[in-house]
Amino acid sequence: MPTYKYKAIKVSGDRTTGTFTANSKREVVSMLKEKNYYPVEIKEVVEAKNIEFFSFLNKVKTKDIAIFCRQFYTMLDAGVTIINCLDILSKQTENKKLRQEIIKIYDEVQKGLTLSEALKKHNEVFPDLLINMVEAGEVSGNLDVIMDRMAIHYEKENKISNKVKSAMVYPIILSIISLVVVIFLLTVVMPNFISMFEGTGVELPLPTRILLDISDGIKKTWYIIALFLFILGYIFNKYKKSERGKRYFDNLKFKIPIVKNTTEKVVTSRFTRTLSTLLGSGVSLIQSLDIVANVVGNKVVADGILQAKEDVRKGISLAEPIKNIRVFPPMVVSMIMIGEESGSLEEILDKTADFYDDEVEAAMEKMTTALEPLMIVFMAIIIGAIVIAMVLPMFNMVNTLQF
């Protein structure tokens, strides 16, 4: 459906400009006349065709959603209507992809849809958690409070995500540097160095001959190797995104010693904070667990939460099935039990989430501290083995001359 940009004026002289998604210009004219405006100019907005190719650069991140919620709350709290909030956000949002989606939502709300209904039509951009919370806010009449809570939630979620990404920067950079150094040694340094021994009659040691064969293979068939790695990476990525792949790798995270502790802390922080936010907004426990399962970010834990939901539906307290998942620390189970008994589950979960936010930061530092020496040792072994293979012919030549 095309988007039209319009300019219009009232009899009183008030002017307005904006965009509207419609089937034709006639629909835009009808919409303006209903608001007592007379169209001055209506143009169809033509989007550039090459934008899709670079769409990954405009991906809507958690930070963008947090800013969206924070600005929406500020305007609602100041008495601005939802329509005007969307109109203002459609003009000042920096992320291009999000701005385009807000424009579409603005048009849909103008046509009579509620905010949550409009957000549902764009669930590839707006998280299910936000959509469900907005719907709860519309029903209860406290949308401003909901937006404030969601802003806080996504700000903290963004903080955790940044910690995870920061912890992985060093290992990734070191891995790339190691790979480049190894390829450079094999394809450039080693052949030139070994060429000095050709014609001397010295027999090259087995390790040296093996590395020379690898070097020749890389230089002669690099395009085949690159194609193979590309296909392998594509297959791996497809498997990783499949249900079976997600379950396998998410389960693997709880078995690798260095990663296990960090994964548990991140999952616990997301679970407690999201559940606290939902319960504090009036969403039922059953519905909250259903939403949390989609937000927690681990398929194994999500399956356990869905099973816990069925147990709670049967009348069992939440603490028992959460304990059976065997992922959450004993402290979390105890805090849930206390919260259920005291009737203050929301507050206790919120305090628990704050505690584990700090634990995530400590776990990230420990993981990075443990990975750094391991990767340096691994890099030293690989490069050291190549250097030794290069030097071995020199020792053989010295032994031959002495003999």
Same domain, 255 and 356: yes
Same domain, 120 and 11: no
- Interior CA angle at 325 toward 320 and 329, to 5°? 85
First to last CA, the chain: 87
Do the domain assignments include residue 228? yes
Exposure pattern of 375-394 as b/e (b: 16+ CB <10 Å)? eeeebeeeeeebeebbeebe
φ, ψ for residue 5 (rounded to 5)?
A: -100, 130
Same domain, 37 and 66: no
Contact in structure between 272 and 331 (CB atoms under 8 Å): no
Residue carrying the six token digits 């764009």: 122
Q: What pLDDT score does 218 carry?
A: 83
Same domain, 150 and 275: yes
Do the domain assignments include residue 105? yes
* Last residue within a domain, chosen from 144, 163, 190: 144
* Last residue within a domain, chosen from 124, 144, 164: 144
Same domain, 166 and 97: no
For 162-175, what is each residue's pLDDT tens digit? 877 877 787 788 88
pTM over 0.75: no
- Give Cα separations from 264 to 83, 267, 278, 326 (angstroms): 41, 5, 21, 10
H or E, element range at 281: none
Same domain, 205 and 220: yes
Do the domain assignments include residue 275? yes
Identify the DSSP state of 114.
Answer: -
Distance CA 157, CA 63 (A): 9
Do the domain assignments include residue 55? no
Same domain, 27 and 78: no
Same domain, 192 and 263: yes
- Is residue 387 very low, low, confident or very high in pLDDT (cuts 50, 70, 90)? confident
Q: What pLDDT score does 53 carry?
A: 41
- Full domain range(s) for residue 68: 60-144
| DSSP bridge partners of 18 | 6
Distance CA 19, CA 112 (A): 16
CATH of the domain at 81: 1.20.81.30
- Is residue 364 very low, low, confident or very high in pLDDT (cuts 50, 70, 90)? confident
For 205-233, what is each residue's pLDDT tens digit? 888 888 888 888 888 888 898 899 999 99
Same domain, 167 and 216: yes
Share of the chain above pLDDT 70, in %: 92
Q: How many domains does the chain have?
A: 3
Do the domain assignments include residue 15? yes
Higher pLDDT: 49 or 187? It is 187
Same domain, 285 and 172: yes
Do the domain assignments include residue 53? no
Q: What pLDDT score does 374 carry?
A: 83
Do the domain assignments include residue 162? yes
* Last residue within a domain, chosen from 104, 126, 144: 144
For 15-60, what is each residue's pLDDT tens digit? 787 777 777 787 878 877 888 887 878 887 755 444 444 444 567 8
Q: Count other Cβ atoms within 10 Å, centred on residue 253.
A: 17
Do the domain assignments include residue 73? yes
Share of the chain above pLDDT 90, in %: 22
Distance CA 270, CA 262 (A): 12
Same domain, 88 and 222: no
Same domain, 122 and 214: no
Instruction: Please choose, from the candidates 163, 116, 118, 115, the residue with its C-alpha nearest in 3D space to the C-alpha of residue 269.
Output: 163
| DSSP bridge partners of 17 | 7
- Is residue 65 very low, low, confident or very high in pLDDT (cuts 50, 70, 90)? very high
